[in-house]
Amino acid sequence: MKTNEIRKKFLNFQIKNKHKTIPSSSIVPINDPTTLFVGSGMQPLIPYLFGKEHPCGKRISNSQKSFRSGDIEEIGDNRHTTFFEMLGNWSFGDYFKKEQIQNFFTFLTSKEEGINLDPKRLYVTVFSGSEKYNIPKDSESVDIWKNCFLSAGIITDVQEIISEENGDKVGMEDGKHIFFYNSEKNWWSRCGTPETMPSGELGGPDSEVFYDFGKENTDKNYYHLKPHPNTESGRFLEIGNSVFMEYVKENNSFKKLKNKNVDFGGGLERLAMVAQNKTDIFLIDIFENAIEVLGGINIYKNNLKSCRIILDHLRASIFIISSGVLPSNTDKGYILRRLLRRLIYHLQYTLNNFSILPKLVLSLISEYKNTYKELDGKNIIKIIEEEAKKFLEVIEKGTSKFEDMYNKKRVITAKDAFELFTTFGFPFDVTQDLSEKKKFKIDKNEFLSLMKKHKEISKKGITAKFKSGLSGDEREVVCYHTATHLLHQALKDVLGNNVTQKGSNITKERLRFDFSFDRKLTNEEKMEIEDLVNKKIKNSIKVDFVSLPLDEAKKTKALHNFDDKYPDIVTVYSIGDYSCEFCSGPHVKNTSELGVFKIKKEESISAGIRRIKGILL
């Protein structure tokens, strides 16, 4: 079963179960200063898990584009990717454990409705409870899972894993497909375990499903055991997690929520792995054409780590660039630059075949073109090639300096690697690779320690940037959100209707707005924009909103991104007859609540993209 078919089948299955399909949010979060990229299907939906009503109702599902920069160092094995799609379904106070577990089991095992997995290869984990917080074992989920397995002709009991260390010693008992784990494994909240959650935070037990690839795929370090599912044995792969959000922490105890939510997430690529019986995530169908471009399966197998880095980083870069991010030395742009430079290095210096880049980009885009029409191959190739030109100059200079250092003392130290990075921009990965070719290793921990000290200079600034947290409904944030709409329209009025929004970021202290424009604004233009925004604020204009069917909303004058996908029902916010945009809110009720708007900075962030930072006084 092809990856695109699995995505379609999952969404159709959820529609049959009365879910509304919503489009993937942008991989770049909007008005969320706490994170650079969307890393899960749940992330854009947090307000609805906290009780806000979703325009599409209580049952929704989607396939969310996701990126996790923390996984960059993991790339090279058979199951980690930085970019992935997360299939998800949610219940906002509607169904709960029984319907969720039964439906997911049906999707996994049904030939007609799902992906036809052998139920004997499925293993599940549930929460073992917390005596400290008087949270019971999730015996309800266990009973539901038992009935699911029984319906497939499998009789199973439960095994309790007290800790991973003890579990590894004990190993997996025969005939058991259900496992109890503690809060380190089977509890979900945004802030970790019940112990680490702050007061007011939501959380609950979760139930994960693992697929068994068989004993023959067990890592050699686990040969003497029967490894239980939630280990790094290589034998098992997590393919889905159902979170049952039913608790709120109050002071140092937990209370049941009035409305219980379900938050399910399952990696599309991992489901493709098990449906296609592939133990290597890079051998599923969406990478087949790209591997052929790289030179075929033999080239791939002979250069596993390099080929996996190229395939993963290029796919992630394609989606990040398509969301409007360009390579730079800060924030999202730095992550993109890091991805591009790693893949460029391996293409040029491991495979010695950088010339295949355009064909490689198009081979990956071809797998997604019917689902994500915003992918522009020509533009993406241009941006990557421009970055490559700069980076290959860095590599040439850095390699020359590396050789000079090596020739003097026949070794490269962590301090040398630090100097290469900070002085020449020479990536540590490249220094490490060159060192391994000369048969010695660099102390990575020492290098990271030097980097940590180096970064302490800017630590205070970073802390200030993120101190506001995820507080989308706080008074200051709401005011800045509304001011952003006024700024957007004022830019169009002063600079022309060709101005389009390219991103925004809002904290309690300021707004940041990125827009398309090909030159620096004059002082007169900035003053005119400020005056126009402040005029609308002083006019005490009422802010209204209405929910409309998507087709009807598009017929209005409301501003929206024509490349984005929207749900069947969208919310349109209007500030009198001046500003009108698709937006999920929140906003003030009247512009008179905003104060005085002031532009603090206007700058270029990339070719053809400007940025304004503004404050309310």
- pTM for the model stands at 0.73
pLDDT at 34: 66
- Kindly give the interhelix angle for 444-466 and 414-424, rounded to the nearest 10 degrees: 40
pLDDT at 467: 34
Structural domain spans, the chain: 3-282, 284-466, 475-616
Helix (H) or strand (E) holding 357: helix 357-368
Helices and strands per DSSP (H, E), number in the chain: 19, 17
Cα–Cα distances (Å) from 94 to 18, 91, 261, 575, in that order, read 11, 5, 7, 34
Q: Give the DSSP letter of residue 39.
A: -
pLDDT at 548: 74
Q: Give the DSSP letter of residue 347.
A: I
Question: What burial letters (b/e) apply to 60-79, b meaning 16+ CB within 10 Å?
Answer: bbbbbbbbbbebbeebeebb
| CA separation for the pair 504, 612 (Å, rounded) | 9
pLDDT at 470: 28
Handedness of CA 39, 236, 220, 163 (dihedral sign): positive
Helix (H) or strand (E) holding 11: helix 3-16
Report the pLDDT averaged over residues 395-407: 89
Q: What is the pLDDT of residues 190-207, one digit of tens each?
A: 778 898 888 888 899 999
pLDDT at 11: 97
Rg (CA), the chain: 26
Q: What is the pLDDT of residues 414-455, one digit of tens each?
A: 999 888 887 777 888 888 888 988 888 898 889 888 887 766
Confidence tier at 585 by pLDDT (50, 70, 90) = low
pLDDT at 462: 34
Whether 234 and 217 have beta carbons less than 8 Å apart is answered as yes
Q: Long-range contact list for 143-151, CB < 8 A, 24+ apart?
A: 144/97, 144/98, 144/101, 144/102, 145/101, 145/105, 145/177, 145/178, 145/207, 146/178, 148/101, 148/102, 148/105, 148/119, 149/119, 149/122, 149/177, 149/178
Share of the chain above pLDDT 70, in %: 93
Report the pLDDT averaged over residues 501-513: 86
Pairing mode of beta strands 59-67, 20-21: parallel
Closest by CA position to 210, among listed 172, 178, 163, 169? 178
pLDDT at 31: 63
| CA separation for the pair 366, 363 (Å, rounded) | 5
Q: What is the pLDDT of residues 527-569, one digit of tens each?
A: 999 999 999 998 889 888 777 777 777 877 788 765 556 666 7
Confidence tier at 167 by pLDDT (50, 70, 90) = very low
3-state class of 395 per DSSP?
helix
Domain boundaries 3-282, CATH class? alpha beta
Q: What is the pLDDT of residues 342-390, one digit of tens each?
A: 999 999 888 988 999 999 999 999 999 999 998 999 999 999 999 998 8
pLDDT value at 296 more than 90: yes
Whether 310 and 82 have beta carbons less than 8 Å apart is answered as no
pLDDT at 562: 52
Whether 43 and 28 have beta carbons less than 8 Å apart is answered as no
| CA separation for the pair 106, 309 (Å, rounded) | 35
Q: What is the pLDDT of residues 19-63, one digit of tens each?
A: 999 999 889 887 666 678 988 888 888 778 877 889 899 999 999
Per-residue tokens: 308: 């996996």
Amino acid type, 89 = N
Confidence tier at 461 by pLDDT (50, 70, 90) = very low
Q: What is the pLDDT of residues 316-340, one digit of tens each?
A: 999 999 998 998 877 888 899 989 9
What residues contact 301, with CB distance under 8 A and at least 6 apart?
Answer: none
Report the pLDDT averaged over residues 213-217: 89
Report the pLDDT averaged over residues 168-180: 80
3-state class of 461 per DSSP?
helix
Confidence tier at 297 by pLDDT (50, 70, 90) = very high
Pairwise pLDDT comparison (62 vs 465), residue with the higher score: 62
CA atoms within 13 A of residue 313's CA, in its CB half-sphere: 27
pLDDT at 200: 83
Instruction: Give Cα 409 distance to the centre of its chain.
Output: 44
Amino acid type, 50 = F
Q: What is the dihedral of CA 213, 216, 217, 220, to 10 degrees?
A: 150
Q: Which CATH superfamily is domain 475-616 in?
A: Threonyl-trna Synthetase; Chain A, domain 2 (3.30.980.10)
pLDDT at 465: 33
pLDDT at 141: 97
